Structures are given as structure tokens and as C-alpha cells.
Structure 1
């Protein structure tokens, strides 16, 4: 199904650039230049995603986001010229899915849009098709083995192939302790001739992507032995 995207942006040049680029990608696009019209047209247009500028001429983008998320389950990417972390946090708390700061590269916007749609498609398929399984880590992380996708707090997290292989192996063996040599054997295979520091580097990268948001360790270091994944 062709996806529909609503752009709420008062800067004509930016709106035209995004509209042109998104239409080239095959999306159906509609643009409006104020928040009130954006809220009104959301109901009739029924977009699959909204790109929302925070600085609008009539009402705040935060108010638009709040209004839309209260009535609709539509992913929102916020765009702003402000770099204030407070704005970013507030936007995400109001229900925005992502946040991009001007000036931006349109290629980055396209990547983030694809990531959101990919995540939504996987979740929808898992609801419809019970055969699509995943492994949960806590309440916020889901690993889809066959699709090779990791969702954290409703957002896809990118992993290299080997990072994913290591993560899924540990996730399928929760609570079990593995030495570095065992992980090299199980994940990299017998033919791998590298040293055990390779495991440490990959563990550090996985931790950085998954753990530094709640202050708890998902992959625990067992000193003198190796690693295990906690739930």
C-alpha cells in the first residue's frame, strides 16, 4: 500500500524540497503551512506519517503534536531550527517518534521515514500473523530474529550483522554465562582467528545502543568468565 505523508511546514522552500523528494520515493504527499490546517486535514487525509515543524505562524508545533496524538495513532517526525534538548525531550514526551534539526540532509529524513515505516509494518504483521515471533528484553526491547530487526521503545535500532548475531545468540540464551572464547566459537565460527577483544568491542557497541537509557545493565560482565544477557 502506498504511504501518505502530511508535511506541516511554513517555510515554502523546505516544504517544496521535502514534497518533491518524498514524491520521487513514491509517497503520496500533502503540504500545509500552518498548524490549524494541519490538525484539520489530518482527519480527512489520514496520513501514515506527519512531518511537523515546531515553529509555525499560528500555533506551536507542540500544541499540534499534542492535539494529533490525543486523537490519532500517527507517527510524527518533528523538525526545528532549535537545538535545545528540552524541546527534543518535550516533543518526544508528547508523542513524536523522531526529531530532526535544521539544516538537515534530505537523505537523513528519508532514512528515518523508512525506518519508522519498517518498524510499523513489522509490528502490524506480528499482530496479524501470530507466526511472526520476537524475543523481548524487559518491556521496551523486541528482537525480531527472522526480520533481523531490533525495536527499542517503539523505534528501530540499527545493528551491524555481527552485532545482531551476537545479540540474538545471547537473547536466545538468557541467563547463561558464556566466555569470550565460547562467543567467538558460537557467533563467529571456528574459522575466525581474531582475539577475544573482538567480543568486548561488539558487547560495548550493543550496550551503547540498548542500555544507556535506564542505567541498568542488560548484558552483564561476569568477571573472570565472560558475559550473560539479563532480562
Structure 2
């Protein structure tokens, strides 16, 4: 099932949700906010629509027929890095970590308000656009080397020990924020403000979860936890 609900010049959002009432309500609200929207109702059709529609962002439910949202996220991110906002029916730490680990950028727990959903969509898109713009800034060195890490800031690619590591847009932005201040402890509140554009500290678990994902992909020796405060990037000697 698809529903194209706005102009061709709008930012494109793919809504993946198997409950028709919820899918249509989300699509209608996003269309009213100026987005072009299409709907997919199961895992296989979601992957196919992501390939052909080329959305700027995917709103993705975890529980889907065919295969679940986590598998959708894995397959989509393997082909093309695209921001993903996951919808989860449970506020479950394990599900959240798995979702972030396969490439989701943010999450929202059901039931949610449409106002909050739109705000999260705009935040993720704004962060992604800002990162793309900053990557083209001439003042930034194109290639940054920090210990075993090599960061291509123009291409937004990261290698460790010569091996490329796939990071989601949010993971890359979080790493970038940390490496700009090596050895400096950055609080969770500051990271939320700089990376997520959140003005309050209600999303500290999102910071912790993304740090865990970075450690899993890059190794546990680069980001130090300062308990009760935040994190710092440490260059191995």
C-alpha cells in the first residue's frame, strides 16, 4: 500500500506501519506538515519502496509482517544510508539497542503524539542536512587521523586500522562531536544539544545507546565513560 500525499519538491518520508489506521494518521499529519509521504505495510514492501522511492527519512515500526523493522533497517542501511526513526510499542532497552545497532537514528515509543513525531522527524532531518553541509565546509580538513581511526569528513566515512566501518548518520555525528574535543569530558546534556538538538536531558539513554553502538563498531578503547558525567574520546598511545 502506498500513498503519495504531497508535492514532488517536498522532503520524502516513507512510513512503514502494518496498522492501517496508524499508518494513515501518520501519513496525513506529515503531509499536512509539507512532506511527501508514501506508506508500506510489511517488511518486503518496505525494502522495495525504500529502493524505488528513495526517501529522505523512514518512519519504521518494529513489529511488521514478512520480516520485522530491524531487518528492514539492516537491509536498507546496507544499500544506502538514510535516517530512520523507529516506532516501538515497548520502552525496552534491548529492543532499543538492537534498533540503534542496525542503523536507526532515533526512536519514539507508542503511544505517541503526532506533534512529538513531527518534531522528531524534523530534528533528524535537520541534523542529517547540517552534517552534510558541514562536510562540504572548506575549512574542515578532509581527512582526519586519530590513532587507529581515519575519518573522511567530506565523504562521511570512517576506517579503523584501514577497515571501513559503517556508521549511521547519528553515530557519525556523535563521533564527530567527541573527536573535536579529544580528552575532554562532554556531558550527556551537551551531546544531546550538539548532536540531537534536544534542549533538555530527557534523552540521555539515547546518548548511552549510541555510545554502546560506537564501541561495538569501533572498539571499546576509544570512548571513555566518566560515570555520572558523560564521555570523552581518548586517542590510544
Q: TM-score range by the shorter chain?
A: 0.5 to 0.7
TM-aligned CA deviation for residue 32 of structure 1: 1.1
Equivalent pairs counted in the alignment come to 168
Distance in structure 1 (CA, Å) of the matches to 2:139 and 2:199: 24
TM-score (norm 1): 0.62
Q: How does 1:163-202 map to 2 (within 5 A)?
A: none
The alignment partner of 1:215 has SS state of strand
The alignment partner of 2:120 has SS state of helix
What residue number does 1:21 align with?
Answer: 29
What residue number does 1:139 align with?
Answer: 179
Distance in structure 1 (CA, Å) of the matches to 2:180 and 2:99: 19
Structure number with bigger Rg? 1
Conserved 8 A contact 1:119-1:151? no
User: Runs of 5+ in structure 1 lacking a partner?
Assistant: 142-149, 161-204, 221-228
- Runs of 4+ off more than 4 Å: 150-154, 208-214, 217-220
Task: State yes or no: 1:10 paired with 2:50.
Answer: no
The alignment partner of 2:225 has SS state of coil
TM-aligned CA deviation for residue 132 of structure 1: 8.0
1:165-191 residue CA offsets vs partner (Å, 9 max, x unmatched): xxxxxxxxxxxxxxxxxxxxxxxxxxx
TM-aligned CA deviation for residue 219 of structure 1: 8.0
What residue number does 1:121 align with?
Answer: 129
C-alpha spacing 1:15/1:137, structure 2 compared with 1 (3 Å)? closer
Distance in structure 1 (CA, Å) of the matches to 2:94 and 2:87: 14
Conserved 8 A contact 1:211-1:218? no
1:172-229 residue CA offsets vs partner (Å, 9 max, x unmatched): xxxxxxxxxxxxxxxxxxxxxxxxxxxxxxxxx7xx7998765227989xxxxxxxx9
The alignment partner of 2:64 has SS state of coil
Conserved 8 A contact 1:6-1:31? yes
Conserved 8 A contact 1:52-1:79? yes
Conserved 8 A contact 1:49-1:74? yes
C-alpha spacing 1:151/1:2, structure 2 compared with 1 (3 Å)? farther
TM-aligned CA deviation for residue 130 of structure 1: 2.4
Larger relative contact order (CA 8 Å, sep ≥ 6)? 2
Conserved 8 A contact 1:23-1:29? yes
1:36-75 residue CA offsets vs partner (Å, 9 max, x unmatched): 0010111110000001111112111111111111111101
Cα RMSD (Å): 3.5
Distance in structure 1 (CA, Å) of the matches to 2:206 and 2:99: 21
User: Runs of 5+ in structure 2 lacking a partner?
Assistant: 1-8, 142-175, 182-189, 212-223
The alignment partner of 2:179 has SS state of coil
Distance in structure 2 (CA, Å) of the matches to 1:3 and 1:121: 11
The alignment partner of 2:67 has SS state of coil
Conserved 8 A contact 2:58-2:84? yes
